[in-house]
Amino acid sequence: MTFSTARSAAAHQEAKAFFPGGVNSPVRAFKAVGGAPLFIAKGEGAWLTDEDGNRLVDYVLSWGPLLAGHAHPSIVKAITETAALGTSFGAPTTREAQLAIRVQRVFPSMKKLRFVSSGTEATAAALRVARGFTGRERVVKFEGCYHGAQDALLVRAGSGVETLGLPDSPGVPKALAALTTVLPFNDIPALRAFFRSEQGRETACAIIEPVVGNMGLLNPKQGFLEALREETKAAGALLIFDEVMTGFRVARGGVQEKFGIEPDLTCLGKVIGGGLPVGAYGGRADAMGQVAPDGPIYQAGTLSGNPLAMAAGIAMLDLVLTPGFIEGIERSTADLCARLAEVCAKAKVPAQVNQAGSMFTVFFTGEQVFDYASAKTSDTERFKRVHRALLERGVYLPPSQFESAFMSSTHGKAELDHTVQAFSEALRVG
Ligand code: KE4
C-alpha cells in the first residue's frame, strides 16, 4: 500500500489559516524532518491511525503522557463517568486529594503540592516559589534543558527551541534573561565554581531536567547530580527537579528515586494527567507554606485540579502503582534499544542509543552523547531521512533528533518486531 498523506496535507493547509505553522505547539510542525505533519484520527494502544488511514506504532505518545498507551479502558472509563457529573466547578473536589495521595506515594519529597494545567505552569510556579522563599532573584538552568515556554527559562533551551534552531526567543525581556545563568550540563567543575562564587550565593534556585529528554535523552554523569545537590544546599539555593518528563518514566518515582537525591521542589506533568492537562509543583513544606492563601506567593488557575483531569490522573497512577507495571515497560524499552543498536551496528551506521527507563533516543553520531555539544554532533540530515522512511513503514518517532522517544505498556512483541524491521529497512534507504 503506498503511503499517502494527502488528507493530512490538506488538513495542514486549512490549519495554517488559523494557527502559526498550522499547529498549536511548534514541535508538532515537522519542521526538522520536513513534510506536512500527520493529522491523527485516533489512537488505540500503541498505534495511531492518521487521517489518510495510515497505521503507525507511536513513540511520541503525546510527548510522554501515555504510559498506558492510547485510550486505555480504565482511563477512558474514569473520564466518561466523571464527565457525566460535571466537567468543572472552580471549587475543590475530593478527587484532588485522591490524586495527591497517589502522587505522594510515588514522590514522598512533595510534602505539599499544587496541581496546575501544564508543565510550564508548574516550572514557572516553582521558580516563583524559590524566588519568593529565598528573597533572591537569580536562577540557574542548564544548557539544552527545556522547562516549558516561559520567559525566565527560554534561554538556550532544548526541545522545540533547539529543534527550530532558535538561540533564544524574542520577546523575553533582556532584564529578565540577565537573571538566568546557564551552566553546561554534566560539567561538575563549572557548577562548583558558580555556586561557590558571589553570584552563586545570591542564587534562588537551580532548575534541571535531572535526566534530560529535551536534547534527546542524556543521562547525568557519575556524581553530577550529587554535586548539584551539595552545592545548591551550601549556597542556600533551592534545587528544583523538573520531572515533567522523567516522572514515572526514568523510574516510578523519577530520577529522585533512582538516584536517591531529594530536591527541594519537584515539577510534574504529562503522565500525572493520564493524557489530560495536569501539572504539579511541590516539595518542602516550609517553601510551599509560602504559597497563597497560606502565604504571600501567588499562583492560581481556573482549571487547576479539574475533576476530569484528576479522574484520568487517578486512573493512570493506579496503573503506575500496580506491581510490575513500570518494570515491564522498562524491560521492553531496554529490549528495543538493544535491538536498534544492533541494527545500526549491522548497517555500519554510527549511532548512540541512549535510554533511561521508558525513554530513549537514537542519536546518529559516533560520539557518546552526554551534553549539548555532543548531542549537536548528530547527523540531523540522516535523522530526517530515517524519520521519513520510518513513517512510510508505520513507525512514528518524535520529529526531531533533539527529543526523547517514549514507550508504553501496550508496546508488545508485535510492535517491537515491526519497529526493528522498519528501522533496519529505513537505515538502508535513509
Ligand atoms: P508543557 O507546558 O508542555 O505541559 O510542559 C513543559 C515541559 C516542562 N518540562 C519538561 C522537562 C518538558 O519536557 C516539558 C514539555 N516537553 C515538550 C516535549 N519536549 C512538550 C511538547 C511540546 O512542546 O509540544
Indicate the fold that domain 73-320 takes in CATH.
Aspartate Aminotransferase; domain 2 (3.40.640)
The sign of the torsion formed by the CA atoms of 333, 334, 335, 339 equals positive
The phi and psi torsions of 286 (rounded to 5 degrees) equal -70, -35
Average pLDDT, the chain: 96
- Assess contact for 342 and 306: CB atoms under 8 A: no
Q: What is the 3-state secondary structure (H, E, C) of 18-39?
A: CCHHHCCCHHHHCCCCCCCCCC
In CATH terms, 6-71+324-429 corresponds, of 3.90.180.10, 3.20.190.10, 3.30.413.10, 3.90.1150.10, to 3.90.1150.10
The phi and psi torsions of 261 (rounded to 5 degrees) equal -115, 130
The phi and psi torsions of 24 (rounded to 5 degrees) equal -105, 10
The model's confidence at residue 430, banded by pLDDT at 50, 70 and 90, is confident
pLDDT tens for 90-148 read 999 999 999 999 999 999 999 999 999 999 999 999 999 999 999 999 999 999 999 99
The owner of cell 501496550 is 410
pLDDT tens for 269-322 read 999 999 999 999 999 999 999 999 999 999 999 999 999 999 999 999 999 999
What pairs with residue 196 in β-bridges?
none
The model's confidence at residue 227, banded by pLDDT at 50, 70 and 90, is very high
Task: Tell which wins on pLDDT, 154 or 83.
Answer: 83
Residue 18 confidence (pLDDT) above 60: yes
> Ligand 1: distance of its center to the CA of 193 in Å?
30
> Ligand 1: distance of its center to the CA of 119 in Å?
6
What pairs with residue 48 in β-bridges?
43, 56
Q: Whose CA is nearest to atom 20 of ligand 1?
A: 63
> Ligand 1: distance of its center to the CA of 208 in Å?
13
Verify whether ligand 1 is closer than 6 Å to residue 249 (CB atom): no
- Assess contact for 67 and 249: CB atoms under 8 A: yes
Rounded mean pLDDT, 380-392: 97
Instruction: Name which of 379, 393, 397 is nearest 424 in CA terms.
Output: 393
Give the nearest ligand 1 atom to 269 CA: 4
- Assess contact for 313 and 272: CB atoms under 8 A: yes
pLDDT number for residue 1: 57
Q: Calculate the alpha carbon distances from 21 to 15, 16, 319, 402 in Å.
A: 8, 6, 36, 19
- Burial classification of residue 92, based on how many CB atoms lie within 10 Å of its CB (0-12 exposed, 13-18 middle, 19 or more buried): exposed
Verify whether ligand 1 is closer than 6 Å to residue 242 (CB atom): yes
What pairs with residue 274 in β-bridges?
276
Substitution candidate for ligand 1 out of 28, 63, 217, 403 with most atoms within 8 A of CB: 63
Q: State which H helix or E strand residue 415 sits in.
A: helix 413-429
Q: Calculate the alpha carbon distances from 81 to 43, 74, 213, 409 in Å.
A: 20, 11, 34, 24
Residue 166 confidence (pLDDT) above 70: no
Q: What is the DSSP string of 33-100?
A: T-SPPPPEEEEEBTEEEETT--EEEESSGGGTT-TT-BT-HHHHHHHHHHHTT-S--SS--HHHHHHH
Cell digits of residue 343: 541494527
pLDDT number for residue 199: 95
Instruction: Name which of 107, 60, 91, 69 is nearest 310 in CA terms.
Output: 91
Q: Residue 278: how many CA atoms within 13 Å on its side-chain side?
A: 31
pLDDT number for residue 293: 98
> Ligand 1: distance of its center to the CA of 47 in Å?
22
pLDDT number for residue 167: 54
Rounded mean pLDDT, 198-215: 97
Spatial neighbors of 186 by CB under 8 A, at least 6 apart, are 218, 220, 221, 224, 370, 371
Q: What percent of the chain has pLDDT over 90?
A: 93
Verify whether ligand 1 is closer than 6 Å to residue 148 (CB atom): yes
Task: Map out the domains of the chain as residue ranges.
Answer: 6-71+324-429, 73-320
Give the nearest ligand 1 atom to 121 CA: 2
Tell me how far apart the alpha carbons of residues 101 and 123 are, in angstroms, rounded to a whole number: 21
Residues belonging to the active site: 146, 242, 270
Verify whether ligand 1 is closer than 6 Å to residue 162 (CB atom): no
Q: State which H helix or E strand residue 265 sits in.
A: strand 265-268
Please tell me what DSSP assigns to residue 403.
S
What percent helix, strand, coil does the chain show, rounded to 5?
40, 15, 40
The model's confidence at residue 165, banded by pLDDT at 50, 70 and 90, is low
Tell me how far apart the alpha carbons of residues 183 and 47 are, in angstroms, rounded to a whole number: 39
- Assess contact for 214 and 162: CB atoms under 8 A: yes
Strands 138-142 and 203-208, bridge-based pairing = parallel
